[in-house]
Amino acid sequence: DQQVKQNSPSLSVQEGRISILNCDYTNSMFDYFLWYKKYPAEGPTFLISISSIKDKNEDGRFTVFLNKSAKHLSLHIVPSQPGDSAVYFCAASPLLLSFGAGTTVTVRA
């Protein structure tokens, strides 16, 4: 049973606007959360992480929000750029990583 779920398989957003990607988890033992970005024919690349002692972490255009009571994680990309078109995976761990199925983001010019 998947412990990390990304319920939106795809997202289309206009260049310059905000992209919001969502992720839900079921295991209350998860205490470290990550987002990865993946281009076709390449491996996933680490984007940003957050530990359970925080509720927000920001790195340039990327911000991750954690709502522990709702077991919900989101990634905000502002502003969205064409190079952000990729598949985004969320992952969570107490020790080993569990991955969601991914959300394909398309940024329209």
Q: Which residues bind another protein (CB under 8 A)?
A: 2, 4, 6, 9, 31-32, 34, 36, 41-46, 49, 51, 89, 93-97, 99-102
Q: Could you tell me the smallest distance in angstroms from the CB atom of residue 89 to another protein?
A: 6
Nearer to another protein, 4 or 77 (CB): 4
Smaller CB separation from another protein, 71 or 100: 100
CB nearer to another protein: give 95 or 109. Answer: 95
- What is the smallest separation between the CB atom of 80 and another protein, expressed in angstroms? 23
Closer by beta carbon to another protein, 11 or else 97: 97
**Contact predicate 93/30, CB 8 Å:** yes
